[in-house]
Structure 1
Amino acid sequence: MQLVFRAVVFEAKELARVEGEAAGLAAWLGGAPARVTLHVLRVARVGLLVQRPPSPEVEVVWEPCLTVSSIREYLLCRYHEGEYESARYCSAEATEPGGYCRAHAESPRALYERCAQGDEQACARASELLGGEEFLVYVLDFGWHKPKVGLTQRWRLLHRVAEQPHTYAAVVARGGLREMRRLERKLGGRATEGVGLRVERRLEAAARALEEGFSTLASRAAWALTTLGLHGGYEAYTVLPRS
């Protein structure tokens, strides 16, 4: 039976919820401090999102144990509608850049991905087509000197965070794609993308920061937000692997 693995998914449980606060320069001048509520999550179980072409539907196989008899040497189109197990995937072969078929090469999803990579024309087109979808700007710290600023779809936040070495990710804004993309660029100019740092270095830095404890981490998150000129209350998340 031919199977296509579409995504890794997980379920998580909240281990702790801690508060942190920091007063940046603006607070010393009479402004408000930054306050962070840090939700500490641990992955409870992991699964694969599996498609059986030509059916567009997928199902979650939890804690899979697989024997691979053969691997076909072509990729299927990455286009899908819906979230995780309710998604419906295209079954055509991927022939265009980005892993899409010809029919979906200019789809809203493909345009959004190009937007996130800096294509401003794609941002304008994707914003029109995705007007009803909510996007988030988040600040992610991997234990280095400055945080990273990222953009994602609301429903993908925890999975996007879990994909990256991190100590926390704080949600700083919600809204439409074009507005959130502008904010991401603005805040990104004050932070860093961690260019030049190997994944191993990021993992080491994140592990060291996590050893300091969750309360310290919440305060670290609040301080990082003040360095970006942010104040007020924010929600942040740490996703820990299974123990």
Structure 2
Amino acid sequence: MPTQDNCFRCSYRAYLRWRGDRFSLEMLVLRAVLVELEELDVKTISVSKTSLSDYLRGLTSTSSKFVWKIYRVKNIKFAVQSLWEHKPKLYTISRLGLKSVGKQICKYHEGPNEKIEEHWYCNRPAVSPNGFCSEHQKSPLAYYEKCTAGNLNACYAVDRLWAGEKYAVYLLAFGNNMFKAGMTRAWRVYTRILEQPHTVAHVVNVYDSIVSARQTERKLGRIVGVSEGMGVKREARLATSLKKIVNRAILEEEARRLARLAARVAGGETSIELFTILPRRPELFANAKPIAFNELVGKSLEIVDYWGGYLLVKSDNMYYLVEKMDILHRILRVFELTH
């Protein structure tokens, strides 16, 4: 009998035979994309900070020092779940053969933060536009998603229902002096940044209340050049960001621009952090074709990279970009799954 470690390297079909699971390889659900990062570089950036009132009074500027950490995607794993179970298993998938993309099932889940493999997922059909079943439309997670979409009443509900959670407010740059203010649960801030095309990011503050975090996000969104949502289409943000991140000198100038903006809102802090997450193969992203997941039915897909909320796949010497949210929480029928 093979060991658990050996099974992780063998085919998923063989693993299921050994486990004696009651379902076919053909049907599964991808619940999450999990990424391991490696640190490439650490730089220090200093920018001057002078308010308009201080400038008019002839006062000298103060200096803010930023530690800029540059990471790169190292490993990609998927949380894979059967329709007969409620907990996923983690796999590094190298190839996926797609038969069909089926209906969406409820994305409600609960469990310890950062331990997706221990989360319990609902398997009921999704009925709401934001992907929840009838039973979980009023769950804390559903209210959280409404809150992040701008519903302040939902934010108050989250504070009542999710005691002890912390929320990070961040600033994100994606090129051409364009910035976004956003918020997420503090434990998944790197995951959230990786879901968006970007050049540089900065965590402004962490709050015990999502209402407080939302209020700060709205305040930042009123700064010239900053938006809460994204007025620029994702494809355009992707193209702009990729042009910047492939050139280290240009990327450093992006970091300085965000540092100057962050210094304006940093209060009394003089040493704060910026970070950038790079894909493994940025040059392949730049030439890949964005495509809907269901357009890849019938193809054998090599999993190449993940960045900016896109999965980069290869088939027949062509590279494609598929949005992560087009892949997750759907019933997939596959003819091949190798890790």
Tell me the TM-score normalised to structure 1 length: 0.90
Amino acid at match of 2:97: T
- % same residue: 33
Corresponding position of 1:22:
47
Shift of 1:205: 2.9
On the 8 A contact 2:175/2:254 being kept in 1, the answer is no
Shift of 1:129: 1.1
Q: 1:97 to 1:199 in 2, by over 3 A?
A: closer
- Which of 9, 14, 20 in structure 1 is aligned with 2:34? 9
On the 8 A contact 1:17/1:38 being kept in 2, the answer is yes
Corresponding position of 2:110:
81
The structure with more radius of gyration = 2
Corresponding position of 2:135:
103
Distance 1:195 1:134 in 2: 24
Q: 1:226 to 1:112 in 2, by over 3 A?
A: same
Give a deviation string over 1:153-183, Cα, whole Å, max 9, x none.
1122112111111011101100121111111
Corresponding position of 1:223:
260
Corresponding position of 2:77:
47
Q: 1:142 to 1:194 in 2, by over 3 A?
A: farther
Q: 1:230 to 1:85 in 2, by over 3 A?
A: farther
* Local SS of the residue matching 2:169: strand
Distance 1:70 1:194 in 2: 32
Tell me the TM-score normalised to structure 2 length: 0.66
* Structure 1 segments unaligned to the other structure (5+ residues): none
Corresponding position of 2:168:
136
Amino acid at match of 1:76: I
On the 8 A contact 1:22/1:223 being kept in 2, the answer is yes
On the 8 A contact 1:8/1:47 being kept in 2, the answer is yes
Corresponding position of 1:63:
93
On the 8 A contact 2:77/2:93 being kept in 1, the answer is yes
* Structure 2 segments unaligned to the other structure (5+ residues): 1-23, 282-339
Shift of 1:238: 0.8
On the 8 A contact 1:97/1:105 being kept in 2, the answer is no
Shift of 1:194: 6.9
Tell me how many residue pairs correspond in the alignment: 242
On the 8 A contact 1:35/1:231 being kept in 2, the answer is no
On the 8 A contact 2:218/2:228 being kept in 1, the answer is no
Alignment of 1:86-165 (within 5 A): 86-165=118-197
Distance 2:128 2:187 in 1: 26
CA RMSD of aligned residues (A): 2.2
Amino acid at match of 1:147: F
Work out whether 1:181 is the aligned partner of 2:181.
Answer: no
Corresponding position of 2:286:
none
Give a deviation string over 1:51-89, Cα, whole Å, max 9, x none.
1123111112103312233443x2110101133233221
